[in-house]
Amino acid sequence: MTDRVTEMVVEERPEGYSGSSGGSPREPTSARESLRIPRIVVHAFCDSPEAAAAIECAAADRLMSRARVAVQSGGVAAAVEHYNQTPTPDLIIIESRSQHDAFLAELDRLAEVCYAGTKVMAIGSTNDIAFYRDLMRRGISEYIVAPVDPIALISSIAGIYGASSTGKLGQVYAFIGAKGGVGSSTLAHNVGWTVAHKLGSNVVMADLDLPFGTASLDFNLDVAQGVAEAIQDAGRLDEVLLDRLLQKCGDHLSLLSAPATLEKAYDVQDGAIEQLIEVAQASVPFLILDMPHLWTSWARNTLISADEIVITAVPDLANLRNAKNLIHVLRQARPHDPPPKLVLNQVGMPKRPEIKVNDFAKAVDLKPVACIPSDAHLFGTAANKGQMVAQASAKGAAVKAFSEIANVITGRQEAKHSRGGYLGLGSLLGRTPKKPA
């Protein structure tokens, strides 16, 4: 069976493209569906106009409509210069016309500016098994011999991220307050926004506080059924339905909002949140869960299974007791994971007696990753305007703290200068991201 989309892609090849159409067999439609590329950010640095044209051609295919693809010329040198200033994306496609050792040396230079979570696909002209093995040894995810066939390229990207690849795409970060009203949702929204806007990664924010969630207010969006529909009939949810339920909120951020109405009660079916996480995780690199202040079985299981947990607490006695209990239970349930991240919020509120940061940390046996000062005017202004704190005022300790938390949980940084230590060569050496405990 001939695939009409494939036909169109082949017919509409941009001028200058001279790639081989024999690189991979044309797949029937149903097989092509399995090649749908998730919501990743892809940067391509090409050494030849032909490769750039083929990648642009692939990017225009519907199978890549969720991914954001940027193609530029200049090859490895341009990539290294670029990533000296900017964080690396989910996937870099690098083309070089250099041969064997020279190409490997170029990739080693790229490795020095690459984050641990970034994958690299190489395009070259050497068709040699020893060279291929050298590339694989360096942790390169895929190697394609030029000329590039757009469909073969999509298939290779799908191979890296698809069902057949090991490991899931998305990292899940769950944010919960040690007590109600401590600012956990505010933190989740601002950190998610920072990951999307400053680190340029695609993020889905799920507001799991169905009756009272504030995400749509904070992002100034119309209330939608989002999460409620997604979990209504767990077996029904797939990537297509999830796409329909997501509300776009800027280039890299999508929101699954809470209905925030009280006409009905929101009992969560067994496995519904799990299914939501699984589907979202398959299509986006970062999933942020804005958890309600609850301790039901679904809330507990969701926290335990998250990649990272961020506990927000205010420095008073009730928060200390609850944070201590939460940290203890989560440490016990996740003995091989780093402990949850603790954030002390609303520190230094005028006239309020507070437990000192050091004493709080000692009592819960965990150092906070950030302390955010109380600033009723700044947070109140942002909340009332439906803005993020950084949009209300770009400077200040809170905005810096959001960036630091985003860096700690994602293992990425906004700029290269402090990238050392757990980042850098990791990806190309095939290591998993090492995050500070």
Ligand X SMILES: Nc1ncnc2c1ncn2[C@@H]1O[C@H](COP(=O)(O)OP(=O)(O)OP(=O)(O)O)[C@@H](O)[C@H]1O
Binding site for Mg ion (CB under 5 A): 185
379 touches which of Mg ion, ligand X, none (CB within 5 to 8 A by kind)? ligand X
Distance from C-alpha of 11 to C-alpha of 151, rounded to nearest angstrom: 13
75 touches which of Mg ion, ligand X, none (CB within 5 to 8 A by kind)? none
Binding mask 297-336 for ligand X (x = CB under 6 A): ----------------------------------------
Distance from C-alpha of 285 to C-alpha of 337, rounded to nearest angstrom: 20
Find the binder of ligand X among 185, 283, 302, 427 (CB under 6 A): 185
The interface region with ligand X, picked from 68-76, 114-122, 182-190, 358-366 by CB under 6 A, is: 182-190
For residue 344, give the nearest of 374, 307, 318 by alpha carbon: 374
Find the binder of ligand X among 38, 170, 226, 292 (CB under 6 A): 292
> What are 350's two structure tokens?
């005028």
346 touches which of Mg ion, ligand X, none (CB within 5 to 8 A by kind)? ligand X
Nearer to ligand X, 78 or 378 (CB): 378
Residue 339 burial (CB count, 10 A)? 17
Find the binder of ligand X among 155, 201, 214, 410 (CB under 6 A): 214
For residue 253, give the nearest of 279, 221, 278 by alpha carbon: 221
Give the gyration radius of the chain's Cα atoms: 23
375 touches which of ligand X, Mg ion, none (CB within 5 to 8 A by kind)? ligand X
CB-based contact 409:191 (threshold 8 Å)? yes
Q: Which helix (H) or strand (E) segment is 344 a member of?
A: strand 341-347
Distance from C-alpha of 30 to C-alpha of 92, rounded to nearest angstrom: 28
For residue 205, give the nearest of 110, 296, 288, 310 by alpha carbon: 288
Find the binder of ligand X among 249, 372, 405, 423 (CB under 6 A): 372
* Residue 382 Cβ vs ligand X, minimum distance, rounded to whole Å: 7
Q: Assign residue 367 a region: left if phi > 0, alpha if psi is -120 to 50, beta otherwise?
A: beta
Strands 247-248 and 203-207, how do they pair? unpaired
Residue nearest to Mg ion (CB): 185
CB-based contact 66:39 (threshold 8 Å)? yes
376 touches which of ligand X, Mg ion, none (CB within 5 to 8 A by kind)? ligand X
70 touches which of Mg ion, ligand X, none (CB within 5 to 8 A by kind)? none
CA separation, residue 296 to residues 162, 208, 209, 234 (Å)? 33, 13, 12, 18
Backbone angles phi, psi at 71, to 5 degrees: -115, 130
Nearer to ligand X, 185 or 275 (CB): 185
Find the binder of ligand X among 19, 23, 177, 315 (CB under 6 A): 177
Residue 132 burial (CB count, 10 A)? 16
Beta strands in 67-207 (DSSP E): 68-73, 91-95, 119-124, 142-145, 171-177, 203-207
- For residue 279, the Cα-to-chain-centroid distance in whole angstroms is 14
Q: Scanning residues 192 to 211, which ones bind ligand X (CB under 6 A)?
A: 209
Find the binder of ligand X among 110, 172, 182, 289 (CB under 6 A): 182
Q: Establish if 376 lies at the interface with ligand X (CB under 6 A).
A: yes
* Residue 101 Cβ vs ligand X, minimum distance, rounded to whole Å: 54
182 touches which of ligand X, Mg ion, none (CB within 5 to 8 A by kind)? ligand X
Residue 437 burial (CB count, 10 A)? 9
Nearer to ligand X, 140 or 389 (CB): 389
Q: Establish if 35 lies at the interface with ligand X (CB under 6 A).
A: no
Q: Scanning residues 378 to 437, which ones bind ligand X (CB under 6 A)?
A: 379-380, 383
Find the binder of ligand X among 293, 341, 412, 416 (CB under 6 A): 293
Nearer to Mg ion, 212 or 422 (CB): 212
* Residue 210 Cβ vs Mg ion, minimum distance, rounded to whole Å: 11
Find the binder of ligand X among 16, 25, 181, 250 (CB under 6 A): 181
Residue 246 burial (CB count, 10 A)? 23
Strands 247-248 and 253-256, how do they pair? antiparallel
383 touches which of ligand X, Mg ion, none (CB within 5 to 8 A by kind)? ligand X
Find the binder of ligand X among 25, 74, 180, 250 (CB under 6 A): 180
* Interface residue list for ligand X (CB under 6 A): 177, 180-186, 209, 212, 214, 292-293, 345-346, 372, 374-376, 379-380, 383
